[in-house]
Amino acid sequence: MTDMSIAWSEDYACGLNPGARGLAGLLGPAKAVQITSEPAWGSSGDNPLIELRNVSKSFGPVVALDSLEATIHPGELVTVVGPSGCGKSTLFNILAGLEEPDPGNILRFRGKSSAASELLGQVSFMPQRDLLLPWRNVIDNAILALEIEGMPRTQARAEALKMLPEFGLAGFENQYPNQLSGGMRQRVALMRTFLFRRDLMLLDEPFGALDALTRTMMQRWLLDVWQKHRRTVLFITHDVDEAIFLGDRVLVMTARPGKVKLEQKIDLPRPRKADIVTSPEFITLKKTLLDAIEEESMKSFMTSGH
């Protein structure tokens, strides 16, 4: 039964994710991580977790990414904003090992040159759609990655049960996705991503479908969880307030073909309280970022034939 449901999940996820290898492939057993003594590119002692140099990606005539450069350090929470279609999810698909960039790129993971496919199973990824399996209840959705990794179901369930209260899901372990609110579904998907313990977490618009109030609560909750677990997080959002409130840095991407237009450090103190969004420092940052994003959104709008 277990094997069958995992095989099913792969078909299901592939169906939602054409071209990608699907959830089961994504969550598959990690390859052994080799840490070499080779010095990291551009490293100055504080070794980056991820370095991307000259990363481009084309889909036929569509150039999604062009010469993208970025460096992510361990423990950072970096938010990514940019116009729709500028290549944000493509970037995550590369970092999750689901897509190979075009030749000529340099992709380093823990200082070691890697093909994107070597990252498959080494990062935890919450895709833009939550991909909960409708026939699995909360707990069995949450443990999917652990099961695929080979952990016995009883052990995986016990681990997930312990985490339910932290994710605001205590008492909901036996509910099915169609019995949950949008915010709860997002938390189940996040919990699954957290349970798959990897140094790098990729969250693609995890709160995109939520109303403003639930979203604010989820942001505060995410910061609490991140501060407790200290994973490295890359977080895509269309919401500038969210990008600043959460991030150590915000990467603003250009209109397609996407590259990093602006890298804005966010020096606001942590822990961040909800009212920080009204502080002069926050508003100055927001203005800088909005100017950069608006310029790119206009370009994107003009080239899309409007």
Ligand X SMILES: Nc1ncnc2c1ncn2[C@@H]1O[C@H](COP(=O)(O)OP(=O)(O)OP(=O)(O)O)[C@@H](O)[C@H]1O
Q: Of these partners, Mg ion, ligand X, none, which one is at the site of residue 111 (CB under 5 to 8 Å by kind)?
A: none
Number of residues that make up the chain: 306
Q: Of these partners, Mg ion, ligand X, none, which one is at the site of residue 45 (CB under 5 to 8 Å by kind)?
A: none
Interacting residue with ligand X among 21, 88, 187, 198 (CB under 6 A): 88
CB of 130 to Mg ion, least distance (A): 14
Interacting residue with ligand X among 85, 223, 260, 262 (CB under 6 A): 85
- Say if CB 166 and CB 225 are below 8 A apart: yes
**CA 80 vs CA 14, 25, 215, 263, 265: distances in Å:** 25, 25, 17, 9, 12
Q: Of these partners, Mg ion, ligand X, none, which one is at the site of residue 208 (CB under 5 to 8 Å by kind)?
A: none
Q: Is 300 in the site for Mg ion (CB under 5 A)?
A: no
β 232-236/249-253 pair status? unpaired
Structure tokens at 111: 């200082």
Report the DSSP beta bridge partners of residue 263: 251
Phi, psi torsion values for 294, nearest 5 degrees = -65, -40
Q: Is 193 in the site for Mg ion (CB under 5 A)?
A: no
Q: Is 22 in the site for ligand X (CB under 6 A)?
A: no
Amino acid at residue number 112: K
Distance CA 115, CA 94 (A): 9
Please identify, using beta-carbon distances, which residue of 73 and 129 lies nearer to ligand X.
Answer: 129
Q: Is 89 in the site for Mg ion (CB under 5 A)?
A: yes
CB of 57 to ligand X, least distance (A): 8
Distance CA 98, CA 54 (A): 18
Q: Is 127 in the site for ligand X (CB under 6 A)?
A: no
Q: Is 99 exposed, middle or buried (0-12, 13-18, 19+ CB in 10 A)?
A: buried
Interacting residue with ligand X among 90, 124, 232, 237 (CB under 6 A): 90
Helix runs in 29-84, H state only: none
Interacting residue with ligand X among 24, 64, 81, 233 (CB under 6 A): 64
CB of 306 to ligand X, least distance (A): 15
- In the chain, the N- to C-terminal Cα span, in Å, equals 51
Q: Of these partners, ligand X, Mg ion, none, which one is at the site of residue 84 (CB under 5 to 8 Å by kind)?
A: ligand X
Please identify, using beta-carbon distances, which residue of 74 and 85 lies nearer to Mg ion.
Answer: 85
- Positions that interact with ligand X (CB under 6 A): 19, 59, 62, 64, 82, 84-90, 128, 256
- Positions that interact with Mg ion (CB under 5 A): 88-89, 128
